[in-house]
Structure 1
Amino acid sequence: MLKLSSLCLFLLLFSAIVVNAKILSEPLHEEVTPPFAGEYTLVIEGFDWGPAVNKVVLSMGETVKETNSSEFAVYASRNSNDGEISPATASGTRSVVYSYVSDAKGNRTESGEFVTLILGVSPIHPIGSPIQYFRAKGNVWIDYKLTVVQTSSGKVWNTEKDRIMPLVDQFDLNGKFKHSESLTMSYAAFAPKMVKEKAPLIIWLHGGGEGGFDPTIALLGNRAANYASPEIQQFFGDGAYVLVPQAPTFWMQGADGMTRGQTNDMYNVALMALIQDYVKSNSKIDAKRIYVGGCSNGGYMSLKLIMEHPDYFAAGYISALAYGNEFITDAQVQKIKNVPMWFIHSKDDMTTKPDETVVPLYHRLKKAGAKNVVFTYYDNVTDITGFYGGKDYQYNGHWSWIYSHANLARTDFDGSPVLVNGRPVSIMEWLSAQKK
């Protein structure tokens, strides 16, 4: 018998259910043409482990008032010209958790011409991700397609019409800064809507896998878009500007490969010029409240900028620091000891080993007299929801930035709560209180 592709088989099986026909044992030479070929909109959101397609909005072609999630089956395929995706994660079914009648953007309505399916997502189910990490290129968008079948009617949706990325869509993604003829950098920028006078600026510098010229990767690769969320914006009065620059390659690139601080990198001068240009172009940014932070590669670059320009930044917030302590001089420690900084790291981080990076630096800063340096030190990085990964699920120990993006870090190195004016605070509450 002719071997069918998994997608073809999927469609055939459900078409058979609809017409109550049995699949013939004779060879099949044509794919079944669905009686209704509809369009869908993908909804993509950032999660602790990265982005996932967690909703799909179906155009029904008629007005409906109710829907049943058990009537829908969803098949996903993932392909890329940038590298090979393993067969185990290249295709498969998606679980439908719930469905409801909605408008075209997925907002619930009593009746309408659209139905939204909520899809199950999890860090252990990469079939839900529209991006893929390749060692040579980092995180890249892939060709992500869905085929949705309504078993009660035989309708099939197999054409993507649009994509919605709720937080990312609030950013200006067209930022370009030309530093020289050979160096241009992309960036994403968010501006709060209700600024009356001045608002602070939060700068986030991505990790090593999010370089390139597509800021959506820098926003979603490790959930940086969350700094524009209402949950975090509320700590900054009328809100805060958010700037997410993107390295063309990776922040730690030096003239002869990767640097951990032993040699100069090739981007810090251009990045600082980008930041200054953005501040100059946005008159409502409060120059006394500019905060810089990042993870891993971005943690390296955040510390580099603070060491080069200690009087420019009101505070730093750094996860999984990749700057080697051995390459930081005592003079540099003295130079930055009065800059408020909050470090986050996990003891089981085997990528940026804490005993070689943040632990000795923290103690050197304290010994030098730093009065406002905080270090939240986790045993490991766990599923903070207790749901998506499951009870006691552990992420890679390098991923300590999860606690920054979710605003969960609250303790110092000795386990005591961090206080501002005698009150326990989270990392974003602390950040919002820092001012030059």
Structure 2
Amino acid sequence: MKKILQVMGILALGVLVFWAGSQVQARGRSDRAGKNSITVVQTKIVLDSYEFGPAVSKIVLETDKPLSEAVLNSETAVATAGIARQINDVYLSDAQGNRLDRYTKSNHVALELAVDYNTEDPAQSASPFTFDLSTYRNYWVDSYVVKVSGLGLKRSGSGKLQLVSSEQEAIENRLTPSADRFSDRGTSSLPYAAYQPESAAAGEKNPLIVWLHGIGEAGTDLNFPLLSNKVAALTQEEIQSQFTSSGSGEQTGAYVLVPQAPTAWNEQYGEALIETIDAYLANNPDIDSDRIYLAGASNGGAMTLEMGIHYPDYFAALVPIAAPYSYQTASDNDDKPYSLDEETLSALKDQPMWLIHSQADTTIPASESALPFYKAMIDAGFENKWISYYESALGTDLPGQVYNGHWAWIYFFNNQVTGVQSRENIGSMSGLSGLVATNPTRGGASKATVDGIEYSNIFDWLNAQKK
């Protein structure tokens, strides 16, 4: 009996040792799994500017461990600000979301997202901007949560793919590559952001484009005028290549200056704007002060005209877009029912101008602004004055997308201002009947022609204007 008890004791002790050993092994596997699991420690959003405004085109995840691979699978999903997003690509990246060479290890992974715009409900486009109708101003949204699920990541040194999920607030973790092209930031009488052409060199003089934002981009955050539309397109090769240096003309490119007003542009900011431009010229002596081109949209377009009237000898050309214009109705005469006051006539007579407007604009109807104003200038015999008049605001970034008709500036940034209305028809036909909106010919069936030289588009024409 004693022997039996001894044997049973030995067996029991063996079972206990085996159980204890198995628990240590299990705990060891669990510890290793926890130690090797991949965790997202930060989420960044990449904002690009489009014809409809800013959009999150990419997210960048930072992980606690270096990665060797990132893959999509049927379970991978991304939602930004509560809106499900289509994923176009995934790859290992640097901290800014730039793709790395294959086999390069990284703690960052970028997911490229399809970008869309919902005209009926812009909030469904997952924009980080919100527009307050009570103040007519853009603001950053208070929260922008990015949720990722089922993303396949492989830890460096491991052959096992892990499915990783995360949900993080990202509104303060913004990357803005298009706005960052305006690397020169400063404050004179007004804060500003500026772009210096890549080819700028001593000995050559370069033109300057000054862009005036709309009412929604006023304030103290320069990201608003830089991201609310495609002003960054003015810094890119397609448009930059159309500007040549003064003198030899061998150098291409133009400076671009974007000042910001604290409130809507109005006459009180005129002196401050001139002081800001002058200060920028002093800091960049290779800018040709005889080739300063002023352009603006909506409220900025109105300020463009205001500056032309009050500083008639300062700018080489004016480009008001979707702008309100003042004019007087002289009589009920069908042929010449519109006229301008003497101050406006005198100031604008010798200033090159190119107006841009859309027939679908209900915010500032063309028939009550750009068209009669332009008609009055033609009736006054003004030369080198042009207007591109479109049927609607038809998109290019999203082909076939019809935007708010007020957004005629999309044609300017998309380099699609090529046609102009016939001056002969406008002058000879009654009322406004000589102005016919047209999208197919990009604003008009005629071409801007000065001193026998025909210009292919607005930037080709701008480059030729000089005080």
Matched, 1:115 2:119: no
Query: What are the ranges of 5 or more consecutive residues in structure 1 without an aligned counterpart?
Result: 1-33, 78-90, 179-184, 253-264
Q: In the alignment, what sits opposite 2:196?
A: 191
1:156 aligns with 2:165: yes
Aligned 8 A contact 1:44 1:165 in 2: yes
1:417 aligns with 2:426: no
Please report how far the alpha carbon of residue 76 of structure 1 lies from its aligned counterpart in structure 2 after TM superposition: 1.9
Aligned equivalents of 2:371 and 2:292: distance in 1?
A: 25
Aligned to 1:267, the other structure's residue is in SS state helix
Post-superposition Cα deviations, 1:287-332, rounded to whole Å, max 9, x if no partner, equal 0110001011000000111111111111111210123233951341
SS of match in other structure, 2:388:
strand
CA distance in 1, matches of 2:270, 2:316: 18
Say which of 62, 69, 94 aligns to 1:103.
94
> Superposition pairs for residues 22-421 of structure 1, below 5 Å?
36-60=39-63, 61-65=65-69, 67-68=71-72, 70-77=74-81, 91-108=82-99, 109-112=101-104, 113=106, 114-124=108-118, 126=123, 127-137=125-135, 138-142=137-141, 143-152=143-152, 153-157=162-166, 158=168, 160=170, 162-172=173-183, 174-178=185-189, 185-196=190-201, 197-237=204-244, 238-252=252-266, 265-326=267-328, 328-385=340-397, 388=398, 391=400, 393-414=401-422, 415-419=445-449
Paired residues of 1:40 and 1:162 also in contact (CA < 8 A):
yes
Percent pairwise identity: 36
Conservation of the 8 A alpha-carbon contact between 1:322 and 1:357? yes
Superposition deviation, residue 423 in structure 1 = 4.7
Deviation at 1:59, TM superposition (A): 2.9
Residue 354 of structure 2 aligns with an amino acid whose one-letter code is: W
Q: Where in structure 1 do 4 or more consecutive aligned residues deviate above 4 Å?
A: 159-162, 419-424
One-letter code of the match for 1:145?
Answer: V
Distance 2:217 2:293 in 1: 20
The 8 Å contact of residues 101 and 111 in structure 1, kept in 2 or not, is answered as: no
Give the TM-score normalised by the residue count of structure 2.
Answer: 0.73
Q: Do the aligned partners of residues 39 and 367 (structure 1) sit closer, same or farther apart at CA in structure 2, a change above 3 Å counting?
A: same
Using a 3 Å threshold, how does the CA distance of structure 1 residues 280 and 379 change in structure 2: closer, same or farther? Answer: same
1:156 is aligned with what amino acid? S
Distance 1:407 1:129 in 2: 25
| Structure 2 unaligned residues grouped into runs of 5+ | 1-36, 153-161, 245-251, 329-338, 423-444
For the residue of structure 1 that corresponds to 2:347, the secondary structure is helix
TM-score by length of 1: 0.78
Distance, in Å, in 1 between the alignment partners of 2:55 and 2:340 is: 38
Quote the residue 2:436 is aligned against.
none
* CA displacement at 1:151 relative to structure 2: 4.5
User: How many equivalent pairs are there?
Assistant: 368
RMSD of aligned residue pairs (Cα, Å):
2.3
Contact 1:299/1:323, CA 8 A, preserved across alignment:
no
Deviation of residue 374 (structure 1)? 1.2
Q: Report the Cα distance in structure 2 between the residues aligned to 1:286 and 1:223, rounded to whole angstroms.
A: 25
Does the 8 A contact of 2:178 with 2:227 survive in 1?
A: no
The letter of the residue matching 2:71 is: T
